[in-house]
Amino acid sequence: MNHESELAKVSLFSKLEPRFIKGMAQICTERDFAAGDALMKQGEDGIGLFIILSGKVKIEKTDTSGRQVELATNGPGDVMGELAVLDGAKRTATVTATEPTKCLVLASWEFTSFMKAHPEVAIQILPILVARFRQTNDALIGVSGIRS
């Protein structure tokens, strides 16, 4: 599979120059997950960013009462784990494959090292991350009934 073309399709990286896409493709690894396998678990260290190539996952969060709440279902082209990779915080949700799923994984240390060597990459993806954060924030405000 051509990792460069897959990375170029992902919204987080779509505006990057081809040379940066190529560089990131070289540090990606491909991982397969069976249905029921956890890609990441809430509370664990964020050791990588996952890009779904094929298959589907569900994203769940355990609330303060211990109840599991399904937040979303993601599929091909979706990126998960980017915030934990960037800030080093623990995973905020559990992601489980609901069918056989193939992912590209960018290890946090590789991704951070790449961005340090190419700071323009960080500058180019920052607006996309901020836009995603704003969308999530707006959705949460809508759910809670808070008016901004």
* Secondary structure of 95-134 as H, E, C letters: EEECCCEEEEEEEHHHHHHHHHHCHHHHHHHHHHHHHHHH
- Tell me the residue range of the domain where 88 lies: 3-140
Residue 98: the pLDDT is 98
Instruction: Report pLDDT for 139.
Output: 65
146 is a domain residue: no
Assigned domain for 148 exists:
no
The burial of 73, by beta-carbon neighbours within 10 Å (0-12 exposed, 13-18 middle, 19 or more buried), is given as exposed
Task: Specify the pLDDT at position 147.
Answer: 53
pLDDT of 114 reads 92
Count structural domains, the chain: 1
- 93: domain CATH number? 2.60.120.10
Confirm whether 124 is domain-assigned. yes
What is each CA distance from 107 to 25, 48, 137, in whole angstroms?
A: 12, 4, 27
Residue 56 CB neighbour total at 10 angstroms:
17
pLDDT < 50 stretches in the chain: none
Tokens of 21: 């896409």
Look at residue 125 in the predicted model and tell me its pLDDT: 87
